[in-house]
Structure 1
Amino acid sequence: MDIEKIRKASLFDEKEILNCANISYEMYIGRLGKKPQPMLDNYASLIAAGNVYVTEWNGQIVGILVLLDFEDYVLLDNVAVIPSYQGKGIGKSLIKYAENYAVERGVKEIRLYTNVKMVENISIYKKLGYIAYDQRCENGYDRIYFRKAL
């Protein structure tokens, strides 16, 4: 199997992007008692704004990345990999892409957040050098916020 490069999403990708988000986050519904926010996002709007990136494996979208630009940082708003493709370095490649994206924009920090009940994600972000700096409830979700200096 061959992984393809990360590329900006087009509106033609919307159905596969939504599928990737749904498959990637459905395991958390029971833990959270509701759908995680990435399952509810308006991907057509995010794609149209140029905020969504995808990676494919043999022509199928298996990973997505949503990046939002702010004045002094980039928000890694969502990174998701279809579970059957996890453990192959796809998620790390997407996060590295996000970090490089931020550097190319001239900002010195990347931020992200995850639900406090998504303990697997918290562990990964800490291993990748992200530091927790805040925890709060937003839109009914208990979130922990991370940042990384670039």
Structure 2
Amino acid sequence: MEIVRIDDSFSRWDELLALILSSFAYMDGVIDPPSSAQRLTLASLAQKAKDEMGFVALADGRIVGCMFLKPEDKSLYVGKLAVAPGAQGKGLGRKLLDVAEDVAKALQLPALRLETRIELVGNHTTFSRWGFFKSAEKSHQGFNRKTFIEMRKDLA
């Protein structure tokens, strides 16, 4: 297993998009509004990798995980953290977050930040186990109820 940063030579956008869509598929019909992953295209994913720092996890040459990182004023935002359904529960998500912590420390950012949907209680539990805490509840535009929570992990 190796985790590598997406660079200008990366060309496996179709495989990366398929990974994200398959790992987020369990949310279909569970969360409202639907995941922004459903709006991703090959072009928007490539643009995301230019605008942010993308990483892929490889096992036997296959993409089995990914995440995108975006520096903010006081934290490093972790987005589109995805692990292939067949690779879940084996520590890969934790390994990706270890890389995020290393990047945050290198950028001298004191925390990681992520968002997860209010309905995905299992995600809240997993991220809490990994040292994250709920820092806010927020709503998507147009909703009069809370639709997601923000979670943070302070780094020493």
TM-score (norm 1): 0.90
Amino acid at match of 1:144: I
CA positional deviation for 1:72: 2.0
Partner of 1:9: 6
Matches within 5 A, 1:1-150: 3=1, 5-10=2-7, 11-32=10-31, 35-41=34-40, 42-139=44-141, 142-150=147-155
- Runs of 5+ consecutive residues of structure 1 not aligned to the other structure: none
SS at match of 1:107: coil
**2: CA distance between counterparts of 1:29 and 1:126?**
23
Identity %: 23
CA positional deviation for 1:35: 3.5
In 2 relative to 1, CA 116–33 (structure 1 residues): closer, same or farther, beyond 3 Å?
A: closer
- Runs of 5+ consecutive residues of structure 2 not aligned to the other structure: none
- 1:20-65 Cα shifts (integer Å, max 9, x gaps): 1100001110212564123324211111235211011111101011
TM-score (norm 2): 0.87
- 1:52-100 Cα shifts (integer Å, max 9, x gaps): 1101111110101110111221001221101111111111100111111
SS at match of 1:66: strand
Q: How many residues align?
A: 147
Amino acid at match of 1:125: F
RMSD of aligned alpha carbons: 1.7
